[in-house]
Chains A and B, each alone.
Chain A
């Protein structure tokens, strides 16, 4: 399209409906996204007796930290936080280790059956977990792995590995090609080129991918609920789904559930606040550029 590039002075209309409506739209978007979470925070600060009041109060009156204290000191819950951390980190580490090699080959090397490999990776991404859960259950029962973390880490890899491969493939593809060629000319082997030139350069991309994988594995529920039947081994989602308060005989302990929900979410919210830009880049890297 041929346009005069010589400073087109566009006269802006002083006030458009857009100018007024736009801030409103921003506020609506933020309110939509945060309101339920805010409600969990409010409820977690309410006293048990006031939670069941009808109509409900918009703000906690009186204000109490009891629910938080109970949840943070509840061994079942802290145990679940630890379990989730172990499972999610392990699944992330395995996926990165195996996936980065594969992604590098897909992004940079020429080899036969490349399209087939891509198709296989994509195919796994659409597997519903339910389609593999019955044989895995029988397998883990036979191997005595039920209630063992390995029985969660391995199935989690089924969905973290494909995410890892797509995201990293997109990141690797963006690195300048000349670097590898220079490395090769300097006499580095292909593996050295990957481990010493490409991997360090792709570190930000690998870090971003790690965050995505960690969040995905942290949130997994289907396998965790099925393969972990003792409370000691519950991950955070299972612990919250089956939450019984400190006093098991009491009615649904909504205050404690809300506090647990907020505590379980805080690590993710912090990750999101710190790495918003990277997460968005990573989340969309594979999807849109291909």
Chain B
């Protein structure tokens, strides 16, 4: 990423003769910087208004006890009590465990599957364009729609999952995928793996395409097996892409909401209640805006810490990101 380009002093006739390679800013540079700031300003103002200002207010709300259930209930100052309460809230720890399990399992599975997909669609073969389009379908599909479709697939009596598994002889009796706590967690993980593996595959594909083809050819000439080339050449060169991809996925998994709310509604019981879902319910079902905001802010802090640790420990080269 080019942050400062010293070479930008293009020959512009109107500018004063570029003397003494500038320690100070030339008029030219100053006008460019000023122009740039004008261009950046609307975006920054928008971001401040729609993101930072509400975030600041969420932190402020999290310091109060606010219940919207009864109009005119006065707010009472809580200070950090809400956060103290979170630390001894079993339901919070449950949500943390659910979110952690789902994040770890989905990211691991999506990485392995996504890499396999990327290796397949990186080759050239007839029908590759259509295959890539097929891979985009789960990514483009609205998460809520995907959740509904999976809910149908997972139905115990008339769902197609049980039909297929029993036809294949994998299960002997129909499993209650969404009604059993353990199964529901894996049903959720399975649906997310389906929905998001394509995104992982496409990012990894883009990384694969940056690797010069002659490197693998050369190693094949030198007598390396495809497996050896993969481990010794492809994977190491793909490492930056892999790290960025994993980081995106972790962030997304940590704030998962749409899928559990529609597929299982956090159940059975609280078996699939993620952090975001718990915060949401506290806010909009209990109408406890103080404690709910504290939970939401905590979720944000957890995501932030996750990014920080990931970047520090793995040295992920976070330059800029892609879509979601």
Contact = CB atoms under 8 A, between A and B. Distances in A.
Interface in B18-63: 29, 31-33, 35-37, 39-40, 42-44, 46-47, 49-55, 57-58, 61
**Chain A interface extent, by class:** 35 or more
Nearest to B116: A25
A61 B214 CA distance: 54
20 contacts: A1-B218, A26-B125, A36-B138, A37-B149, A56-B163, A102-B43, A130-B257, A133-B296, A154-B49, A161-B47, A163-B322, A166-B321, A216-B324, A237-B258, A241-B148, A269-B137, A269-B140, A280-B132, A280-B206, A290-B320
A158 B117 CA distance: 31
Contact of B299 (A101, A131, A137, A161): A131
Most buried by B among A138, A158, A284: A284
Contact of B320 (A111, A170, A185, A273): A170
A250 interface: no
A185 B166 CA distance: 73
Contacts of A285: 322
Nearest first, the 9 closest Cβ-Cβ pairs linking A and B are A290-B319, A287-B322, A284-B206, A102-B43, A135-B57, A128-B255, A111-B36, A132-B54, A131-B300
A159 B322 CA distance: 12
B264 interface: no
B188 interface: no
A68 to B, nearest CB: 16
Nearest to B193: A32
Interface in B142-160: 142-150, 152-153, 157-160
A268 B140 contact: yes
A33 B138 contact: yes
Contacts of B168: none
Most buried by A among B51, B144, B317: B144
Given A237-B144, A237-B145, A121 B47 contact: yes
B141 interface: yes
B272 interface: no
A102 B145 contact: no
B92 interface: no
B323 A216 contact: yes
Given A3-B221, A133-B283, A32 B194 contact: yes
Most buried by B among A10, A126, A158: A126
Interface of A: 1, 3, 8, 10, 18, 22, 25-26, 29-30, 32-34, 36-37, 39-40, 43, 51-56, 58, 94, 97-99, 101-102, 104-106, 109-112, 114-115, 117-118, 120-122, 124-139, 154-155, 157-159, 161-163, 165-167, 169-170, 181, 184-185, 190-191, 194, 212, 215-216, 218-219, 221-222, 226, 236-238, 240-241, 243, 254, 257-258, 261, 264-265, 268-269, 271-273, 276-277, 279-280, 282-290
Contacts of B85: none
Given A163-B323, A222-B257, A56 B140 contact: no
Most buried by B among A212, A288, A290: A288
Contact of A222 (B8, B244, B258, B303): B258
B309 interface: no
B203 to A, nearest CB: 6
B145 A265 contact: yes
A257 B54 contact: no
A221 B39 contact: no
